[in-house]
Amino acid sequence: MAKKLYVGNLSYQTGEETLRNYFAGFGNVESVKLITDRDTGYSKGFGFIEMGSDEEAKAAIAGANGAEFDGRKLKVNEAIDKPRR
């Protein structure tokens, strides 16, 4: 079952493909979603990644949290689903 991760402190220039390629080193990346400003379309500096399994998600958290990526130290942890309004 896929596991969703929060990825924060991203460079505003980081693209989804670059992020996908980086996290592919930890396992199967099912989806990548960068969060952008609704008005400008610019990245807000965080996003979500779905890894293929719990083991791959744990490997990604262990390997990427605090790691330097595009000149910034990543914050990676398990995503918490926001309750629907």
User: Please, which residues bridge with residue 6 across strands?
Assistant: 48, 77
- Region class of 21: left (phi > 0), else alpha (psi between -120 and 50), else beta: alpha
Q: What is the pLDDT of residue 45?
A: 97
SS3 9: coil
Q: Does any domain span residue 82?
A: no
pLDDT, tens digit, for every residue of 34-79?
A: 999 999 999 999 999 999 999 999 999 999 999 999 999 999 999 9
Q: Does any domain span residue 11?
A: yes
Cα(12)–Cα(62) distance, integer angstroms: 23
Q: Does any domain span residue 85?
A: no
Full-model pTM: 0.91
Residue 25 sits in which domain range?
3-77
pLDDT, tens digit, for every residue of 13-40?
A: 999 999 999 999 999 999 999 999 999 9
4 vs 38, 40, 44, CA distance in Å?
A: 22, 26, 18
75 vs 1, 25, 31, CA distance in Å?
A: 23, 17, 18
Number of domains in the chain: 1
Q: What is the pLDDT of residue 10?
A: 97
